[in-house]
Amino acid sequence: MTEFTYFTACTIDGFIADTDNSLQWLFDVPVVENDSAIPDFIDGIGVLVMGATTYTWMLEHEQLLEHPDKWRDWYRDRPAWVFTHRELPSIPGVDIRFVSGEVADHFDALREAAGTRKVWLLGGGELVGAFDDAGALDEICLGMVPVALGGGAQVLPRRITSERLTLVDVQQVGQRVDLRYKVARAVS
Ligand SMILES: NC(=O)c1ccc[n+]([C@@H]2O[C@H](COP(=O)([O-])OP(=O)(O)OC[C@H]3O[C@@H](n4cnc5c(N)ncnc54)[C@H](OP(=O)(O)O)[C@@H]3O)[C@@H](O)[C@H]2O)c1
């Protein structure tokens, strides 16, 4: 069965971006040489899913319209589903599907695109919450860095209590703690 995994960096007070949608606080954390957490995770995914803010942030921050080769270096030929109500530019040569509406309407296509690999839910938190509401959140992987922001974009603006979450792995990578939780389906 295809797994839906939320994999993101976050602060100790539960934010994935600050109030200006900046991630500079994340880039300021000292990196560890040969940290393979992200490439190892990407090896196991078949498709990426994100909201419009995350996509436009990537376009602008990484200048992906001018340098589409960066995307291919990171993700190879994996397709991405971008949820939006707008007409956004596509990255040249990259399989980007702009979609909208109920997330569940896209599950069959996402499962087919992922094959035997995972669906990576990049965020934002509300979009991931919509996947959980529809019964499609199997795993949460948080790279928690020693930063508190006091406000911004929440990791996951939902009430999900401990009977649904099982901590299955913890790794320290320099100043970051990587936490992996299995998520049980909500009992309706
Ligand atoms: N720390 C990290 O590793 C990390 C990871 C991911 C994201 N981030 C950051 O976190 C922030 C998240 O931003 P965000 O909270 O605004 O979330 P987002 O999910 O990236 O974008 C939300 C937008 O997506 C569109 N959307 C969402 N659901 C939709 C649906 N069902 N149908 C159609 N459109 C839909 C809407 O945009 P429109 O109506 O305008 O089209 C909505 O305003 C960004 O700054 C991002 O860069 C950080």
CATH number reported for the structural domain that contains residue 65 in this entry: 3.40.430.10
**What's the whole-number mean pLDDT along residues 124-151?**
98
The pLDDT tens digits of the residues spanning 50-73 come to: 999 999 999 999 999 999 999 999
Report residue 133's pLDDT band, with 50, 70 and 90 as the boundaries. Answer: very high
Q: Does residue 29 lie within any of the structural domains?
A: yes
Which amino acid type is present at position 146?
P
Q: For ligand 1, atom 6, which residue shows the shortest CA distance?
A: 123
Q: Does the Cβ of 8 fall within 6 Å of ligand 1?
A: yes
User: Which domain covers residue 97, as residue numbers?
Assistant: 4-183
Distance CA 37, CA 2 (A): 21
Mean pLDDT of 91-99: 97
Residue 185, pLDDT > 90, answer yes
Report residue 58 as tokens: 């990537």
**How many domains does the chain contain in total?**
1
Q: Is pLDDT of 186 > 90?
A: no
Is the pLDDT score of 76 beyond 90? yes
In a domain, 38, yes or no: yes
Question: In this structure, is residue 55 part of a structural domain?
Answer: yes
Dihedral sign, Cα of residue 34, residue 64, residue 17, residue 128: negative
Alpha-carbon distance of 171 to 180, in angstroms, equals 9
Q: Do residues 59 and 181 touch, judged by C-beta distance below 8 A?
A: no
pLDDT reading at 80 higher than 80: yes
Domain presence at residue 23: yes
Residues 2-12: what's their mean pLDDT?
A: 98
What percent of the chain is predicted at pLDDT more than 90? 98
- Protein residue with least CA distance to atom 32, ligand 1: 100
Of 168, 158, 166, 157, the C-alpha closest to 184 is 166
124 CB near ligand 1 (under 6 Å): yes
Instruction: Decide whether any atom of ligand 1 lies within 6 Å of the 85 Cβ.
Output: yes
In a domain, 21, yes or no: yes
Ligand 1 atom nearest to CA at 21: 45
**Mapping DSSP to helix (H, G, I), strand (E, B) and coil, where does residue 42 land?**
helix
State the pLDDT at residue 84: 98
Minimum-distance ligand 1 atom for the alpha carbon of 22: 45
Q: Identify the pLDDT of residue 187.
A: 83
Question: Which tokens in the block code for residue 73?
Answer: 């270096």
Instruction: Give me the mean pLDDT over the 14-24 stretch.
Output: 96
Residue 22 lies in a domain: yes
- Ligand 1 atom with the shortest distance to the CA of 103: 31
Mean pLDDT over residues 128-141, rounded?
Answer: 98
Confidence of residue 105 (pLDDT cuts 50, 70, 90): very high
Mean pLDDT of 104-132: 98
The arithmetic mean of pLDDT across residues 83-102, rounded, is: 98
In short, whether 154's Cβ falls inside 6 Å of ligand 1 is: no
Whether 188 is covered by a domain: the verdict is: no
* φ, ψ at 144 (rounded to 5°): -90, 125
Asked if the structure places residue 10 within a domain, the reply is: yes
- Please tell me the distance between residue 123's alpha carbon and the centre of ligand 1 in angstroms: 6
* Rounded Cα distance, 52 and 88, in Å: 8
- Whether 86 is in the pocket of ligand 1, judged by its Cβ within 6 Å, is yes
